Amino acid sequence: MQYKVKDGDILGKKLGAIVVGLFEDDKKPEGLVKEIDKKLDGYLVELVAEKQLSASFKKVNKIHTLGKLEAKAIYFVGLGKKAELTFDKVREAFAVVAKVLAKEEQEEVAFALDTFLTGENAGELFAKALAEAIGLTSYRTETYKQKKESTSAIEKVVVYTELNQDMVEEALTVGYTYSAGTNLARALVNAPGNYMTPTDLAAKAKEIADRYGMDYSVLEREEMKKLGMGALLAVAEGSDQPPKMIVLKYRGKEKWENVLSFVGKGLTFDAGGISIKPALNMHEMKMDMGGAATVLGAMEVIGALKPDVNVMAVIPSTENLINGSALKPGDVITSLSGRTIEVRNTDAEGRLILADAVTYAKQLGADYLVDVATLTGAVIVALAGVSTGAVTNDEELMEDVLLAAGEAGEYLWRLPNFEPYKEMLRSSDVADLNNSPGREGGSITAGLFIGEFAEDTPWVHLDIAGTAWSRSDSVFGPKGGTGAMVRTLATLARNF
Ligand code: BES
Ligand code: MN
Ligand code: ZN
């Protein structure tokens, strides 16, 4: 997609479609809307009075100009009340109109940005919202049908504004880049398990590294054995696909210090292992590499925007399947950290591979850890598909992540980390830890299990089991992978 910023008269140009914001508060037309009304001989005001044209939030009304204006069509976007229009809400409104524009095959559109602004300071934020919304709604799920459906998309966007052109252009770039990172994560999640094995995931990570000059390395099974990554290897036993421990390093500072590390669960298919899942909806478990996808999406954004912070991605990847040598309930395994784990349930595999990944990240110099994982069904019971759940051992880092989520417009809610929850993990008679202490408080204990391996390194855990995947379309795109937390992680890194 192409972006251009222009100042000057949007009404003086021969354009296919222009997009104009309408506020409910503006009882009398002002500025551009007033000019349009004049050119339409007062007809616009009449339409509004007769409620044929509405300024209520997210209402889109198209009018054909029939030669009265240079532009062939104007799309009015209802924005509701000025005082209530936030970044999140204006992004939603932009998404709604972007969808209509794409559907009506308007490939080249001009936005009158200033008509959307609630005040002088809104420019940067709302320009970002605009590009993010258009980018997010442009995503199309890849299919493998013999006959591809053709879908139209907005190809060229011109933003008219009286604000500083460089500032607006920069904001558009940030918004667009955020959408690109999110869409990358969506595509990874949506890929079928046979197209997205641990080997494929590693290749995708390498593409990002090559694109932005990041360090790329991967551990193969033999090296994992030498290092003693008993937890990741144990899960991988049940699969014929070779496991991978994928590492990307983005060096935003001269020295490799103050390293912010993102650890993403890369389970490319989770059948549950011997503690096998029910068949119903098992196909959706191709999304169990959602954490890895989020981390890679964030690395894409970081590579493109180049903040001056060191960021390391660590992605443990394997399948969780069944064969004659698969991990069994009751098995005791030894993790990279030396801690032993009794595997009560082979379907609680995410925390096992993340345990080794967190220890490995620390060995590679991680100073701050954020792990992202489609970890528990329990988080969906607690928070539905609405909010990501967080667990932490560090108030300050938690605060930073919550602020980043707020800024990025993503829902995130913290779960408790009280001592008795940690005690529940020590309920094995034979090993240091029990990987499945029971249904109650399931997303808390799962998170805290990973926290055992973070030890005293500041750590935040994000459970995206409910948010990484949607069973219905949203204003921002089709059902399936959502790219949840990509923008939060990118924002966290840029603010760090
Ligand atoms: N990948 C699943 C969690 C999951 C559930 C992700 C639903 C997305 C949607 C995870 O590996 C798992 O199976 N967790 C178990 C843990 C239990 C056995 C302690 C669960 O949540 O049932
Ligand atoms: Mn599982
Ligand atoms: Zn899983």
**Residues with catalytic annotation?**
277, 351
Longest Cα separation, the chain: 84
Alpha carbons within 13 A on the beta-carbon side of 436:
19
> Which atom of ligand 1 lies at the shortest distance from residue 439's CA?
19
CA of 379 from ligand 1 middle (Å) equals 9
pLDDT tens track for 455-484: 999 999 999 999 999 999 999 999 999 999
pLDDT score of 371: 99
For 181-495, which CATH class? alpha beta
pLDDT tens track for 257-298: 999 999 999 999 999 999 999 999 999 999 999 999 999 999
Asked whether residue 345 carries a pLDDT value surpassing 80, the answer given is yes
Type and span of the H or E element at 123: helix 122-137
> Residue 112 CA to chain centroid, in angstroms?
28
Residues with CB under 5 A from ligand 3 (ion): 267, 270, 288, 350
Ligand closest to the CA atom of residue 466? 1
Confidence of residue 1 (pLDDT cuts 50, 70, 90): confident
Nearest Cα residue to atom 8 of ligand 1: 465
pLDDT score of 29: 87
Ligand 1 pocket residue status of 350, Cβ below 6 Å: yes
Confidence of residue 28 (pLDDT cuts 50, 70, 90): confident
Q: Which two tokens stand for residue 369?
A: 């850890």
Ligand 1 pocket residue status of 235, Cβ below 6 Å: no
Query: Average pLDDT in the 193-212 region?
Result: 98
> Beta-strand (E) ranges in 258-385?
259-264, 266-270, 311-320, 332-334, 340-342, 366-373
Dihedral, 125, 129, 132, 138 alpha carbons, nearest 10: -160
Model confidence pTM above 0.75: yes
pLDDT score of 151: 84
Confidence of residue 152 (pLDDT cuts 50, 70, 90): confident
Closest CA to 18 of 142, 162, 160: 160
pLDDT score of 107: 87
Confidence of residue 120 (pLDDT cuts 50, 70, 90): confident
CA of 374 from ligand 3 middle (Å) equals 6
pLDDT score of 26: 83
CATH level 2 (architecture), domain 2-138: 3-Layer(aba) Sandwich (3.40)
Nearest Cα residue to atom 13 of ligand 1: 347
**Percent of the chain scored above 90 by pLDDT?**
95
pLDDT score of 434: 98
Confidence of residue 208 (pLDDT cuts 50, 70, 90): very high
Type and span of the H or E element at 34: helix 31-39
> Which atom of ligand 1 lies at the shortest distance from residue 345's CA?
18
CA of 348 from ligand 1 middle (Å) equals 6
> Which atom of ligand 1 lies at the shortest distance from residue 376's CA?
21
Grouping H, G, I as helix, E, B as strand and the rest as coil, residue 246 is strand
What are the DSSP calls for 405-471, one per residue? HHHHT--EEE----HHHHHHTT--SSSSEES---STTHHHHHHHHHHHHHTTS-EEEEE-TTTSEES
Number of Cβ atoms within 10 Å of the Cβ of 424: 16
Query: Average pLDDT in the 10-19 region?
Result: 92
Question: What's the rounded Cα separation, in Å, for the pair 311 and 256?
Answer: 9
CA of 285 from ligand 3 middle (Å) equals 7
pLDDT score of 117: 96
pLDDT tens track for 123-140: 999 999 999 999 999 999
Q: Where are the domains of the chain?
A: 2-138, 181-495
